[in-house]
């Protein structure tokens, strides 16, 4: 009660907003995308709070969202709106089971992204394309040991092969974008080695060769700010073609047409400016610009997060197709585990600057998980009614005494871990170990101990290997 709004978290703010909306004992509450900007782990608490309060007050609520799985938890009845028109008005159970409108069907499909790539479709190189070893990085001035005031990434190890799609997931603030920045050469690491195609990759842009520049490209979350609004699409795509390949005139024009074909946009779009394009089209232009360099690695940082689910699903499909056709590799960053699992054959889970679990998509499809992965996986709303009430995410933490070791060396998930063990987790640093499913975790607990604390959960990968 004594704090100012900027001193509380996003989830807390949303709960305060909910409390404010209910001060006047309203008959009707309108909730407009109240959890869209939140992590799934926070969303679950906020949804439960909203639902309880609305029920207790006997109020009527209209819950507006682009996320069908969220709406399915909150509503008895769902209206599907598109282009200003009501396309379907149906009870929640009926709508989920047998949607009447084609657009509702698309929404349902987009909410369950199918795995788009069969591993045997992609020629995977055996030599690593990108290796990261013992990477530590952060922001602010360095201390005597060369470590930054704000330490973000700690001892990151990662290997990416040619043609591979590696997913990085974790909630906001875990250091995903910082990792991309280091690989892109936008942030100098403090410790550790990064190599690209066998050559050391300098942390400083000045130390990189023109070829290294060309071969690593980046696509950002915000398609709007990444494109110069004053330039035509032809100018935007022409620039890297000229810089990296020396293409001019008719040859450049032909390549622009090819790039627009690749990202499935009409060639006529070349004359337009970004302002005249939709969000999905802009993101396709960003991809085309990255592809103009004919890169080996594309760093994708939350590229579908700002798009609605149907448009985002089409971008994922395009990424999968480009990878199949061009053999390009992705470091695919997202806070959304289902997006990552739809596109990537390997996944690394980040928490507070550490990779706490890594493994193949299949290894990460089945419990036991690292306790943080388990929390993430169980926090993603499922497309069925009653999920919110039944999901195994618990807020109860076993009591634990104050840590006895240097805080930095202990497990970073200690304060939130439902399986933490007194005298062990608050006492010694966790080790890396391999679980029965094949993934590597950073944890004190072994498969049997984790399984005992985690209900068996098998995640279907819809459409995979079909």
Ligand X SMILES: Nc1ncnc2c1ncn2[C@@H]1O[C@H](COP(=O)(O)OP(=O)(O)O)[C@@H](O)[C@H]1O
Q: Is 354 in the site for ligand X (CB under 6 A)?
A: no
Per CB under 6 A, contacts with ligand X among 281-310 are none
Farthest CA pair distance, the chain: 71
Q: Are 53 and 18 in contact (CB under 8 A)?
A: yes
Give which of ligand X, Mg ion, none residue 404 binds (C-beta under 5 to 8 Å, depending on kind): none
The residue at minimum Cβ distance from Mg ion is 177
At its nearest, how many Å lie between ligand X and the CB of residue 430? 21
At its nearest, how many Å lie between Mg ion and the CB of residue 299? 11
Q: Are 175 and 151 in contact (CB under 8 A)?
A: no
Say how many Å lie between the first and final Cα of the chain, rounded: 54
At its nearest, how many Å lie between Mg ion and the CB of residue 139? 14
Per CB under 6 A, contacts with ligand X among 109-148 are 139
Q: Which two tokens mark 146?
A: 């060369």
Q: Which two tokens mark 466?
A: 């079909």
The residue (of 78 and 179) whose beta carbon lies closer to Mg ion is 179
- Member of 86, 150, 276, 424 binding ligand X (CB under 6 A): 150
Give which of ligand X, Mg ion, none residue 152 binds (C-beta under 5 to 8 Å, depending on kind): ligand X
Q: Are 400 and 426 in contact (CB under 8 A)?
A: yes
Pinpoint the alpha helices (H) of 67-147. Answer: 68-74, 92-97, 102-111
Site string for ligand X, 163-192 (x = CB under 6 A): -------x-xxxxxxx--------------
Give which of ligand X, Mg ion, none residue 374 binds (C-beta under 5 to 8 Å, depending on kind): none
Q: Is 352 in the site for Mg ion (CB under 5 A)?
A: no
Q: Cα separation of 231 and 233, whole Å?
A: 6
Q: Is 358 in the site for Mg ion (CB under 5 A)?
A: no
The residue (of 156 and 292) whose beta carbon lies closer to Mg ion is 156
Q: Is 203 in the site for ligand X (CB under 6 A)?
A: no
Please give the torsion angle defined by the CA atoms of residues 61, 65, 71 and 75, in that order, rounded to the nearest 10 degrees: 20
At its nearest, how many Å lie between ligand X and the CB of residue 286? 18
Q: Cα separation of 330 and 305, whole Å?
A: 16
Q: Are 128 and 299 in contact (CB under 8 A)?
A: no
Residue 398 backbone dihedrals phi, psi, to 5 degrees: -65, 140
The residue (of 177 and 391) whose beta carbon lies closer to Mg ion is 177
Give which of ligand X, Mg ion, none residue 343 binds (C-beta under 5 to 8 Å, depending on kind): none
Give which of Mg ion, ligand X, none residue 173 binds (C-beta under 5 to 8 Å, depending on kind): ligand X
At its nearest, how many Å lie between ligand X and the CB of residue 414? 18
At its nearest, how many Å lie between Mg ion and the CB of residue 36? 16
Half-sphere exposure of 453 (CA within 13 A, CB side): 21
The residue (of 339 and 439) whose beta carbon lies closer to Mg ion is 339
Among residues 33, 28, 58, the alpha carbon closest in space to that of 46 is found at: 33
Indicate the DSSP class of residue 362: T
Contacts of residues 141-150 at CB distance under 8 Å and 24 or more positions apart, as own/partner, are 142/190, 146/190, 146/191, 147/190, 147/191, 148/190
The residue (of 115 and 179) whose beta carbon lies closer to Mg ion is 179
Per CB under 5 A, contacts with Mg ion among 380-409 are none
Q: How far is CA 418 from the centre of its chain?
A: 24
The residue (of 302 and 440) whose beta carbon lies closer to Mg ion is 302
Among residues 132, 100, 287, 263, the alpha carbon closest in space to that of 200 is found at: 132
The residue (of 170 and 274) whose beta carbon lies closer to ligand X is 170
At its nearest, how many Å lie between Mg ion and the CB of residue 302? 6
At its nearest, how many Å lie between ligand X and the CB of residue 136? 13
Which residues on adjacent β-strands are paired with residue 136?
A: 191
Among residues 449, 370, 366, the alpha carbon closest in space to that of 412 is found at: 370
At its nearest, how many Å lie between ligand X and the CB of residue 51? 27
Give which of ligand X, Mg ion, none residue 170 binds (C-beta under 5 to 8 Å, depending on kind): ligand X
The residue (of 168 and 356) whose beta carbon lies closer to Mg ion is 168
Give which of ligand X, Mg ion, none residue 175 binds (C-beta under 5 to 8 Å, depending on kind): ligand X
Size of the site for ligand X (CB under 6 A): 11
Which residues on adjacent β-strands are paired with residue 191?
A: 136
The residue (of 302 and 345) whose beta carbon lies closer to Mg ion is 302
- For the chain, what is the radius of gyration of the CA atoms? 23
With contacts defined by CB under 5 A, name the span among 75-83, 112-120, 172-180, 260-268 that binds Mg ion: 172-180
DSSP string, 422-458: TTTTTTS--EEEE-TTS-EEEES--HHHHHHHS---B
Residue 451 backbone dihedrals phi, psi, to 5 degrees: -60, -40
Q: Is 177 in the site for Mg ion (CB under 5 A)?
A: yes
Binding site for Mg ion (CB under 5 A): 177
Binding site for ligand X (CB under 6 A): 139, 150, 152, 170, 172-178
């Amino acid at each position: 009660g004594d704090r100012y709004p900027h001193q509380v978290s996003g989830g807390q703010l949303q709960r305060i907003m909910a409390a404010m909306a209910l001060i006047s004992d309203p008959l009707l509450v309108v909730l407009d995308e109240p959890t869209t900007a939140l992590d799934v782990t926070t969303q679950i608490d906020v949804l439960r709070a909203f639902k309880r309060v609305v029920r207790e007050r006997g109020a009527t609520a209209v819950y507006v969202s682009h996320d069908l799985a969220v709406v399915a938890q909150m509503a008895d009845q769902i209206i599907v709106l598109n282009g200003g028109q009501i396309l379907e008005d149906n009870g929640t159970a009926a709508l989920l089971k047998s949607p009447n409108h084609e657009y509702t069907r698309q929404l349902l499909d987009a909410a369950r992204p199918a795995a788009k790539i069969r591993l045997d479709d992609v020629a995977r190189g055996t030599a690593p394309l990108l290796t990261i070893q013992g990477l530590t990085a952060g922001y602010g001035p360095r201390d005597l040991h060369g470590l930054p005031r704000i330490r973000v990434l700690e001892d990151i190890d990662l290997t990416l092969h040619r043609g591979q799609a590696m997913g990085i997931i974790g909630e906001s603030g875990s250091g995903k974008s910082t990792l991309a920045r280091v690989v892109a050469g936008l942030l100098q690491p403090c410790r550790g080695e990064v190599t690209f195609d066998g050559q050391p990759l300098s942390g400083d842009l000045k130390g990189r060769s023109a070829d290294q520049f060309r071969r690593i490209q980046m696509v950002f979350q915000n398609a709007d700010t990444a494109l110069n609004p004053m330039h035509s699409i032809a100018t935007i795509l022409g620039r890297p073609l000229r810089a990296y390949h020396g293409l001019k005139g008719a040859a450049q024009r032909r390549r622009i047409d090819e790039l627009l074909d690749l990202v499935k946009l009409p060639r006529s779009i070349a004359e337009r400016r970004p302002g005249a394009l939709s969000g999905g089209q802009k993101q396709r232009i960003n991809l085309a610009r990255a592809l103009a360099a004919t890169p080996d690695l594309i760093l994708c940082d939350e590229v579908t997060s700002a798009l609605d689910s149907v448009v985002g699903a089409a971008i994922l499909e395009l990424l999968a197709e480009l990878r199949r056709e061009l053999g390009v590799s992705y470091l695919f960053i997202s806070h959304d585990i289902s997006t990552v699992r739809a596109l990537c054959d390997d996944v690394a889970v980040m928490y507070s600057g550490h990779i706490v679990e890594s493994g193949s998509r299949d290894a990460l499809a089945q419990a036991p998980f690292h306790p943080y992965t388990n929390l993430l996986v169980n926090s993603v709303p499922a497309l069925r009614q009653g999920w919110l009430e039944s999901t195994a995410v618990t807020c109860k933490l076993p009591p634990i005494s104050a840590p006895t070791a240097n805080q930095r060396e202990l497990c970073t998930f200690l304060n939130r871990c439902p399986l933490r063990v007194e005298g062990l987790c608050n006492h010694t640093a966790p080790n890396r170990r391999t679980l029965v499913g094949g993934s590597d975790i950073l944890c004190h607990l072994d498969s049997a101990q984790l399984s005992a604390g985690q209900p068996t959960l098998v995640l279907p990968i819809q459409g995979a290997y079909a």
